[in-house]
Amino acid sequence: MPGYRAYDATTLAYRVLGEGPPVICLPGGPMRASDYLGDLGGLSAHRRLVLPDLRGTGGSAVPRDPASYRCDRLVDDVEALREHLGVERVDVLAHSAGANLAALYAARHPQRVGRLALITPSVLAVGIEVTGEVRRETARRREGEPWFAAAYAALEEITAGRATDAHWQAVAPLRHGRWDAAARAFDAADAEQKNGEAAA
């Protein structure tokens, strides 16, 4: 797995899939190793995917300073990767919580971003609040699913500020378009691919 040095000398890893112009693909989680992105549904047949493991995840080293896990500080890691790749401008694709990092990177380095694609983005970094009512309204669209009652009850507890780990697990089906075997496997792998300390 290739690597590069961050601003604080932390060694960071990334994978490359495919050929063509590079696109940096920022994983979500938050702070989940990039393995789960796979080849982004075959995008590697058209582009050179650069899939970094954010500091403390996957093949990347754990930094000396835990404060460097902050999203606004990870921007410098993305810039170091762009410099390492030797390109003036790069396209950026980000998934879920990675969209916060991508938005902050684009704001700080607009001249370095060609295209920006945000896939099922988290919107915290751009100041959009998703209220409990919006979450409930969105969840109610899945009312016909067999797991809905338990997931919705757990969502009510979360929005009321009484979240437990069990509640977060119960709402897992709401984070996926389908709650099938592939989605369950994806969700189960989260614990081993995510750096919980960094996410916190």
What pLDDT, on the 0 to 100 scale, is given for residue 128? 87
pLDDT of residue 130: 87
**What percent of the chain clears pLDDT 70, i.e. is strictly above it?**
100
Nearest CA to 156 out of 130, 131, 132, 122 is that of 132
Strands 90-95 and 22-26: parallel
pLDDT in tens, 180-197: 999 999 999 988 899 988
Q: CATH 3.40.50.1820 in the chain, residues?
A: 1-129
Residue 66 has pLDDT above 90, yes or no: yes
Q: Which residue has the tokens 């990767």?
A: 81
CA distance 128 to 114: 24
Tell me the mean pLDDT in the region 66-93: 97
User: Across residues 167-187, what is the average pLDDT?
Assistant: 93
State the DSSP code for 21. Answer: S
Which of the residue ranges 1-10, 62-71, 74-83, 189-198 would you say has the lowest mean pLDDT? Answer: 189-198
Instruction: Give which of 30, 56, 10 is closest to 125, Cα–Cα.
Output: 30
Q: What would you report as the CA-atom Rg of the chain, rounded to the nearest whole angstrom?
A: 18
Count of residues for the chain?
200
Q: How confident is the prediction for the chain on average, in pLDDT? A: 95
145: three-class secondary structure by DSSP: coil
**pTM to 2 decimals?**
0.90
pLDDT at 90 over 90: yes
In whole angstroms, what is the distance from residue 186 CA to residue 190 CA? 7
| pLDDT higher than threshold 90 for residue 80 | yes
Q: Which residue has the tokens 């996926």?
A: 176
Q: What is the mean pLDDT of residues 153-157?
A: 95
3-state class of 4 per DSSP?
strand
* Architecture, CATH, for domain 1-129: 3-Layer(aba) Sandwich (3.40)
First to last CA, the chain: 27
Residue 124 has pLDDT above 90, yes or no: no
The amino acid that residue 18 corresponds to is G
Task: Return all residues near 17 (Cβ < 8 A) that are at least 6 apart.
Answer: 39, 44, 48, 49, 51
pLDDT attached to residue 125: 80
Residue 30: the pLDDT is 93
Question: Which pLDDT band, with edges at 50, 70 and 90, does 123 fall under?
Answer: confident
Amino acid occupying residue 40? L
